[in-house]
């Protein structure tokens, strides 16, 4: 017996699909600036009130777009070397930040205005870091880096400069940065920077 109050029927799902499609389309055509509840509702052929009631604000819309995307098929790169994996990962991050439609960029911007978007962003990054731990495990298996290397700290060291450069400093894209940051993290890991006992 399902919850009698729930009603995930055809119309609800259909409207959700219409609205989320409208968000993606609007994002692709006019970017994050013109992404307002009104615009999305009009494009989806849905009344403003419906969007406000179900999603609350723009951040809620983006968060739902992200959850709906549910990119559960994503896997971290596997190039055969730690440096190759990290560099490829950083390239993906850099590409995602410049991507059209700029979903990633929009989500980050929205996370400063909406709690829902901030949560979606936290969930996304947490998920990604967990999935990427296999990169470190493989490197340990290849004896590239010492056993006991902390995966999370290594991954943050490798990727943080890319985010810092593009999101915070908003500096022009630096093609060498992904590989450079990856190389730095590898050298630090080899030197034992991420092993527990000092």
Partner DNA sequence: ATGCTAGTGCAACATCCGTCGCATTAATAG
Partner DNA sequence: CTATTAATGCGACGGATGTTGCACTAGCAT
Closest to 110 in 3D by CA, of 65, 69, 77: 65
| Inter-helix orientation angle 82-98/177-190, to 10° | 140
One of 112, 127, 131, 148 touching its own copies (CB under 8 A) = 112
Site map 31..50 versus its own copies, x via CB under 8 A: --------------------
Indicate the helix (H) or strand (E) that contains 51. Answer: helix 48-55
Q: Which does 146 bind (CB under 5 to 8 A by kind): its own copies, DNA, none?
A: none
User: In the complex, what is the shortest distance from the CB of residue 191 to its own copies, in angstroms, rounded to a whole number?
Assistant: 4
The CB-side HSE value for 75 (13 A sphere, CA atoms) comes to 5
Sole window of 23-31, 94-102, 140-148, 158-166 interacting with its own copies (rule: CB under 8 A)? 158-166
- Interface stretch with DNA, choices 56-64, 95-103, 115-123, 126-134 (CB under 7 A): 56-64
Smallest distance from its own copies to CB 4, Å: 38
Interacting residue with DNA among 21, 24, 25, 36 (CB under 7 A): 36
| Residues across the chain | 198
Q: Is 118 in the site for DNA (CB under 7 A)?
A: no
Sign of the C-alpha dihedral, residues 34, 36, 73, 15?
negative
Cα-Cα-Cα-Cα dihedral sign, residues 86, 87, 92, 96: positive
């Amino acid at each position: 017996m399902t919850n009698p109050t729930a009603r995930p029927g055809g119309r609800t799902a259909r409207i959700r699909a219409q609205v989320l499609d409208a968000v993606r389309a609007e994002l692709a055509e006019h970017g994050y600036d013109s992404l307002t509840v009104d615009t999305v509702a009009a494009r989806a052929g849905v009344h403003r009130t419906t969007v406000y009631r179900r999603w609350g604000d723009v951040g809620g819309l983006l968060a739902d777009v992200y959850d709906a995307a549910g990119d559960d098929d994503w896997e971290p790169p596997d190039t055969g070397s730690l440096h190759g994996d990290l560099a490829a990962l950083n390239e993906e991050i850099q590409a995602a930040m410049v991507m059209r439609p700029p979903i990633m960029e929009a989500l980050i911007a929205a996370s400063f205005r909406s709690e829902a978007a901030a949560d979606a962003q936290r969930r996304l990054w947490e998920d990604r870091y967990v999935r990427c731990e296999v990169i470190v495990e493989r490197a340990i298996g290849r004896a590239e880096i010492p056993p006991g290397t902390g995966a999370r700290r290594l991954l943050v060291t490798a990727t943080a400069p890319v985010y810092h450069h593009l999101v915070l400093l908003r500096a022009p894209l630096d093609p060498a940065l992904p590989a450079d940051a990856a190389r730095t993290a590898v050298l630090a890991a080899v030197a034992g920077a991420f092993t527990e006992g000092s």
